[in-house]
Amino acid sequence: MSWNVFKLTLIGSAVLWLPSCGSNQQLLSINVTPATVIFGSTNPALHAQLTATGIYTHPPATKDITTQVTWSSSIAGVAVVDSTGQVSPAGADCGVAGITASLKTNNPTGNIVTGTMSVTVDGPAANNCPTTPI
């Protein structure tokens, strides 16, 4: 009988000492979709919705984190992105801009995880923009 008590005590102690899987979930990467967007005009009324998906470990999971990330454009004169992930041509320039979704994590503390995609804005040849064949 004392052997069973010892085993139960050992198992109970191990459970208390081991961290919970859900408490230390870690963001490994961010996947932004679509990976590329091509606008055939510099018209700022055009837009596309981006989605940021977080890839987590411990336990493994994928989550829509579109509203949690910080969105930014590498060339705001070509493309702009708002806080909801909606991207549009800026209306001034044509070219290629990188869009980044970033999230500061708590595990490890202060780690910044990013995901990227690209936006190409073409336009009429009269504006000295390259044109994309349809």
Question: Can you give the pLDDT at residue 76?
Answer: 92
Bridging pattern class, strands 48-49 and 36-39: unpaired
* Domain spans in the chain, listed from the N-terminal domain onward: 24-127
Mean pLDDT of 77-99: 92
**Rounded Cα gap, residues 85 and 111, in angstroms:** 21
pLDDT reading at 28 higher than 60: yes
Please give the CATH architecture assigned to the domain spanning 24-127: Sandwich (2.60)
**Rounded Cα gap, residues 72 and 85, in angstroms:** 9
